[in-house]
Amino acid sequence: MRRLSDGVEAALHCALVLAGLPGDKVLPGKSLAELHGVSETYLLKHLRALTAADVIMALPGPRGGYRLARAPEKITMLDIVEAIDGPGPAFVCREIRRRGPSKTKDPCAYRTDCFIKSRMLAAEAVWRDALRGQTLADLLRDGETKIDPRNQEAVANYVKASQR
C-alpha cells in the first residue's frame, strides 16, 4: 500500500472538529489551520478538496467558513481519504515481470494478471471496506473517551471563540 498523504490526517482532524459544531455555525479556514498548527494555504487546498467531494461546505463572505455538508454518520473515513488522495488504487502494477533479460518476450506467457497485483488489490479492497465502515460519528464517540478532558476543553474553548 502506498503511504497516505499528510493531507489525509489534516482533513480527518478538520472534519472531526467541524462535526462538533452546532448546525448553524461555521469555522473559518484560518482558525482550522491555527488549531492544527498548519499553514492556512496548505489547509485551504485540502478544504477545497473536501468541499468538492461534498464532505464539507464552504460559506463565503466575511462571516463565512466551513461546516459539514452531511451528518457525521453519513461521512465515512473513506470519503475523506478519497477526497484528498483520490479514488484510484493505491497499488499500481507496472508489469516489471515482463522486463529484464531473463523474461520471456512471448505475450502468451502473461495471459493472467500478475498474482502480486491481484493480492495487493484484494488487500486494498479490505482496507477500503474497513474505512467505508467507519464514520465521523464513530470518531466523535472515540474522541469522547480517548481525548484527555483538558485537551477537549481547550479545543472546545478555541472553537467556541472562533466559530461564526
Residue 1 lies in a domain: no
Q: Which three cell numbers stand for residue 32?
A: 482550522
Q: How many CB atoms lie within 10 A of CB 49?
A: 19
pLDDT in tens, 34-43: 999 999 999 9
pLDDT in tens, 118-162: 999 999 999 999 999 999 999 999 999 999 999 999 999 999 999
Number of domains in the chain: 1
pLDDT computed for residue 150 by the predictor: 96
Residue 111 lies in a domain: yes
Domain with 30, as residue range(s), is: 6-162
pLDDT in tens, 4-20: 889 999 999 999 999 99
Residue 133 lies in a domain: yes
Residue 127 lies in a domain: yes
Q: Which three cell numbers stand for residue 141?
A: 464517540
Residue 67 lies in a domain: yes
| DSSP of 57-93 | EEE-STT-EEEESS-GGG-BHHHHHHHHH-SS-S---
pTM to 2 decimals? 0.87
Question: Which CATH number belongs to the domain containing residue 144 in this structure?
Answer: 1.10.10.10
Residue 158 lies in a domain: yes
Q: Work out the angle between the directed axes of helices 115-132 and 77-85 (0-180°, nearest 10).
A: 130
